Amino acid sequence: MSPAPTWPAIDPFADAVNPALGVLLFGLVVAAWRAGRRREAFGLPITLVLCLSVAYGLAYLDRALGVFSLFGLDFSTHGAVHLAAWATLLVWHPARWPWALAVTLAYHALMAAQGYHTTHDLLATAAVVGLPLTLLGTSVRPAARRRADSAPAGHNAGS
């Protein structure tokens, strides 16, 4: 059981970050569909499911094997899901990386400040989840890149 939040007033913000990312991704799917970018409209949710499978799969493995606890750490499922959502966004919209970095750093600082996880927990989770997400993203990226190459002239597909 986690300790009580350090600042209860900001606890709802921590709880809202991942659902807000979900809404953002859903909005991007709708926008892609409406703009006729079917590859993105179908590819983005498929990418999300794959990335979430990595996050939850590693969380399951850690619970089953207890690897993190051997090192005095706690796998952050919320942190892993957060990274999976941003990895999905960055596969299809790589120009958004500054937002991804800023929100992720703020979210992880908030989780550490609230006492949900230590900085070491979050960094270890990011390291363990980051490699498979990067490998997955680079394998999915060619399909997303084809979307950008086939975008109408004047359309900034990386946005």
At 13-38, the pLDDT tens digits run: 878 888 999 999 999 999 999 999 99
Q: How far apart are CA 119 and CA 112, in angstroms?
A: 6
What is the rounded average pLDDT of the residues 69-73? 95
Does position 74 have pLDDT exceeding 90, yes or no? yes
Q: Residue 155 has what pLDDT?
A: 52
Considering Cα of 99, then 7, then 84, then 127, what sign does the dihedral take? positive
pLDDT > 50? residue 159:
no
CA distance 107 to 73: 19
Per-residue pLDDT at 156 exceeds 60: no
Averaged pLDDT score across all residues of the chain = 86
Among 25-29, 82-86, 90-94, 143-147, the least confident range = 143-147
Q: Which of 3-12, 57-66, 72-81 has the lowest mean pLDDT?
A: 3-12
103-152 per-position pLDDT tens digit: 989 888 888 888 889 999 999 999 999 999 999 988 887 666 665 555 55
Closest CA to 45 of 92, 78, 99, 101: 92
CA distance 77 to 64: 14
